[in-house]
Amino acid sequence: MKFVDEVTIDISAGNGGAGCASFRREKFIPFGGPDGGNGGRGGHVFAEADLNINTLVDYRYTRKHFARNGEAGRGSDQFGAAAEDIVLRVPVGTIITDIETGEQICELLTHGERVMLAKGGDGGFGNLHYKTSTNRAPRQKTPGWPGEAKNIRMELRVLADAGLLGMPNAGKSTLIAAISNARPKIADYPFTTLHPNLGVVRVGPSQSFVVADVPGLIEGASEGAGLGHYFLRHLQRTRVLLHMVDMAPFDDAVDPVAQAKAIIKELKKYDQALYDKPRWLVLNKLDMVPVEQRPALVKDFVKRMRWKGPVFEISALTREGCEPLIRAIYEHVAAINSPPVVEPDVRFVEAPEPATAPPSDDPRFR
């Protein structure tokens, strides 16, 4: 199935039905009076988040979604039926924006969350509505009110706790396949990953977190090189970024430090808030480096990077060093998600001094 994370569609709620101007005509009842009913309400347009959907491909080619109009009122005191609402099911993490105003309508973050995008028009009034003690034969009626129509943009940002960031062939897909049940495409050429992949990492029976793998970033992505910055939006909701570095590139002329600095530079160009997120260095493919050379290689890399944050040495292929990384991610995410413990506000109040006993000669206490 093709991964689509941004679409533009037209939506329109239904118009309200027109009211009816009618009079009761029945034998032996010369003054039947007005009996025209009101029109029915037009259908609303809703958006609902669904965990079973992970792409917006359903709206890629179906660009127009219109609700039906309400039924018109009829005689014999018959009101028109309201039209059926339509529900647009979207993935969890979808942001919906009104293109004309630029205003964000909603952000659906939980399964089953439903938001009205366009309100259906109310039905018009029939002449029965205008009947009073002084106006016994009204002939006025009103048409139905129009429903709202909008041109909206849907943008999907996947919900993940940790995001994998790095150059193509840094081993991001291999890592997510090693620590989760995700099975992305893995090959020995760049840009194997063409769309984000999500994997659930199980730490315990009831302990887990979600990892997102996005296509690799290269120098010049801000100018459109490679896949550009297109998929970086999917890392904006993550708690921590895992900057993966290939420590054993195929080409000896490639400098891992220069590649890592290029990724950081492109990240800062894209979004300062994303750049300010907690970021950990994950040095991958150390299984291809002799054991005796690893400490010096890692020390030289950290020194040249002038890196002060956490550093993890792993091999995604052999799973060496993956368990400490998994545990550290889980503890970091759990610390953020758990609410802070608020100490109760205990105040100590001094007890009042006991009252003095009344004098024994007081007649009131005899």
Average pLDDT over residues 166-176: 83
Contact 211, 199 (CB under 8 A): yes
Scan for tokens 């993490």, then name that residue.
93
Is the pTM here over 0.85, yes or no? no
Q: Which CATH number does 162-337 carry?
A: 3.40.50.300
Q: Check if the beta carbon of residue 260 is closer than 8 Å to that of residue 300.
A: no
Residues of the chain with CATH 2.70.210.12: 1-156
CATH 2.70.210.12 matches 1-156: yes
E-strand stretches of 147-272: 149-156, 162-166, 197-204, 207-213, 240-246
**What is the pLDDT of the chain when averaged over all its residues?**
82
Q: What percentage of the chain has pLDDT greater than the value 90?
A: 24
Is the pLDDT confidence value at 359 over 70?
no
pLDDT at 52: 83
Average pLDDT of the residues in 110-127: 92
Read off the pLDDT of residues 185-242 as tens digits, 9 standing for 90 and up: 676 656 666 667 778 888 877 788 888 888 766 666 556 555 556 677 777 888 888 8
Residue 301 has pLDDT above 60, yes or no: yes
- Pinpoint the residues of the chain covered by CATH 3.40.50.300: 162-337
Query: Which pLDDT does position 1 carry in this prediction?
Result: 43
- CB-count burial class (<10 Å; 0-12, 13-18, 19+) for 304: middle
